[in-house]
Amino acid sequence: MPTKIHFLLNDRAVCTSEPGGLLVLDYLRKKEHLAGTKEGCKEGDCGACVVLIGDLEGEKVHYRPVTSCLTPLGELQGKHLVTIEGLNLADDLSPVQQAIVAEGGSQCGFCTPGIVVSLTGFLMQEGWDVSPAGIKKALSGHLCRCTGYASLKRAGKILQNTIAKDLVQTKSRIETLIALGALPAYFRDIPARLRALPAMHTEEAALPSEFMVAGGTDIYVQKGEALPEARVKILNLYPEIRGITRQNGHIRIGALTTFEEIAHHPQILEIMPEMPQYLHLIASWQVCNRATLGGNIINASPIGDMTAIFLALEAELVLCEGIKSRSVAIKEFYKGYKKLDKTPGEILTEVVVPVRDRETKFNFEKVSKRKCLDIASVTSAVRVKLDKGAIGDIALTMGGVAPIPLFMRNTCAYLLGKPVSKDTVKGAMPVAQSEISPISDIRGSSDYKRLLVRQFLIAHLCKLFPESVKARDLI
């Protein structure tokens, strides 16, 4: 008997034996003929394929919009998959749909269903304000080439002016949204129906997996054609390696913890208060709901943003194979372009960050062609603590300037013990330039990347120590 996946698709239960590595997008369009979910780019950039995935968390179901073009079908086991068809009321438009129609927020219409899904998903987030910033976050993962977004923002304003007040302090957003005609009534019974779903039937794997998929946001872009046919191990079926805890002065982050969860977690905010602002430079809400910290680190892209950040935090990585486990410093983990200190059987399970004292400062800098939601030209993080006015502890990283995410060892060594001053910054420049080796590519010329390294050094120190270092003395 092949593997069978049980889940709810809109208002009906589904049991499928399609391959677990098949994309949810392809499953919807080709097997279910649910054509409201569109294929726009198949790499998570356009949002035309956004659906909601509902996870049972306690008594409630937590719905998250995700790009179905990067989500494997196998992960839906026990979950509620909602497409635009599942949000439509029989004979009326929902408030989200009405607002878009009223403001002319749909022109050619191809991007529209995904936008309706994300906006509805946004309204479903318990405790979230329907504010212009929130609406932008919901729209962030969607490309619309027709409207220029102004009418969509105005549609958001309508929601803010009409139903936002009803969503404040409700016991259950879902109940309220059903009452407002923003969700069909069947949503009410979903928690009970999810609990009643049978478990996944898995055939004992005869052969080892060819691919391991965490969030899928990178591997599906790279190997999208191969994965549906391949033997794929879907790591999200092992939720025990997800979540954030604090133990003995360390923050332990499960490798499957998503960017979205990391960015808003109180433990993370304590060490990096500006993390939510960094996030919209990094990826859209819909992708952040999928992308995992472990995936980012293992993917070993030299321009991984989260990797640059956790490298500056000097995290420890916990690698497991069966019952064996070992720890390796992230600083030592990257051995060459996409070469890791990891055996094929090992899985990254945890990222452990020591909590430093409150005087430790942190900053993240990133420049990409498009300011938000783009891949970096250069990405950089710094962690620094002063000791009697001099640099007492520093970790500086640069992504996009070497074959690996680069810990700037020589520059850090140079800076250590020096006073925070413009001369120190100037002195560090040649050191920094000598330990990078950027190449020219679509993200920028090697000269540009060298220039950015200089600018980031200045930016980090000006931002963290505005009293001691001023941009006007350096540029």
Partner 1 sequence: MIKHIDAASHTRGESQYIDDMWQPADLLHAAVYASPVAHGKIVSIEMQDALKVEGVAAVFTAQDIPGRNQHGTIIQDDLVLADKDVHYIGEPVAVVVARTPEIARAGVKRVRMEVKESPGVFDAREAYAKGEIIGQPLTFTLGDVDSVWEKCAIVVAGSTETGGQEHAYLETQSARVIPLEGNTWRVYASTQSPTAVQKTIALMLNIPFPQVEVDVPRLGGGFGGKEDQATQWAAIAALSAWKLKRPVQIVLSRAEDVRMTGKRHPYSSDFKMGLSKEGKILAYEVKMYQNAGATADLSPAILYRSLFHATNAYYVPNVRAFAVSCRTNLLSNTAFRGFGGPQGMFVIEAAIAKAAEKLGMAKEEIQRKNLIKEGEMFSYHQQVNAPRAERTWDEAMQIYKISDIKKEIQAYNDKHYETKKGCAVMPICFGISFTTTFLNQASALVHIYTDGNISVSTNGVEMGQGVNTNLTEITARALGVRPERIKIESNNTKRTVNMSASAASACTDLNGNALLHATAQLCERLYTFAASELKLADKAKVAVVAEKVLYDGKETGWNWDKLIISGYLNRVDLSAHGFYATPNIAFDAKSNQGNAFAYHVFGTAIIEVTVDCLRGTYDIDAVKLVHDGGSSVNQLILRGQVEGGLAQGLGWMTLEEIKFNEKGLLLSNALASYKVPETYFMPDDIQVKFLEGVDNPASPFGAKAVGEPPLMYGIGVFFAIRSAMQTFSPNKTFAFNAPMTPERVLMELHGDYLKEVQR
Segment 164 to 193, residues that bind partner 1, using CB under 8 A: none
Interactions with partner 1, residue window 257-296 (CB under 8 A): 280
**CB of 258 within 8 A of CB of 215?**
yes
Among 31, 145, 338, 409, binds partner 1 (CB under 8 A): 145
Give the x/- contact pattern for partner 1 in 75-114, rule: CB under 8 A: --------xxx--x----x--xx--xxxxxxxxxxxxxx-
Q: Minimal distance in Å, beta carbon 41 to partner 1?
A: 4
Q: Which is nearer to partner 1, 159 or 194 (CB)?
A: 159
CB 194 within 8 A of CB 61: yes
Nearer to partner 1, 88 or 267 (CB): 88
430 near partner 1, judged by CB under 8 A: yes
Reading the block at residue 443, the tokens are 């993200």
Angle value at C-alpha 346, between 340 and 350, nearest 5 degrees: 85
Q: Which of residues 335-394 bind partner 1 (CB under 8 A)?
A: 365, 367-375, 377
The C-alpha angle 356, 362, 368, rounded to 5 degrees, equals 145
User: Helix count (H) and strand count (E) of the chain?
Assistant: 20, 18
Smaller CB separation from partner 1, 109 or 336: 109
CB of 328 to partner 1, least distance (A): 30
Query: Quick check: 130 binds partner 1 (CB under 8 A)?
Result: no
Residue from 33, 171, 358, 388 touching partner 1 (CB under 8 A): that is 33
Rule CB under 8 A: which of 11-30 touch partner 1?
29
Q: Count residues binding partner 1 (CB under 8 A).
A: 88
Ranges within 37-56 binding partner 1 (CB under 8 A): 37-43, 45-46, 48
Cβ atoms within 10 Å of 88's Cβ, excluding its own: 17
118 in contact with partner 1 (CB under 8 A): no
| Residue 431 sits in the site that holds partner 1 (CB under 8 A) | no
Tokens of 408: 């700037």
CA distances 190 to 157, 181, 322, Å, are: 30, 17, 35
Paired tokens of 358: 């409150």
Is residue 370 packed enough to be buried (19+ CB in 10 Å), middle (13-18) or exposed (0-12)? exposed
Q: How far is the CB of 412 from partner 1 (least distance, A)?
A: 19
| 199-218 positions binding partner 1, by CB under 8 A | none
With CB under 8 A as the contact rule, the residue among 4, 60, 62, 153 that binds partner 1 is: 153
Which H helix or E strand runs over 180? none
The C-alpha atoms of residue 216 and residue 310 are separated, in whole angstroms, by 20
In which residue are the tokens 């001099």 written?
Answer: 390
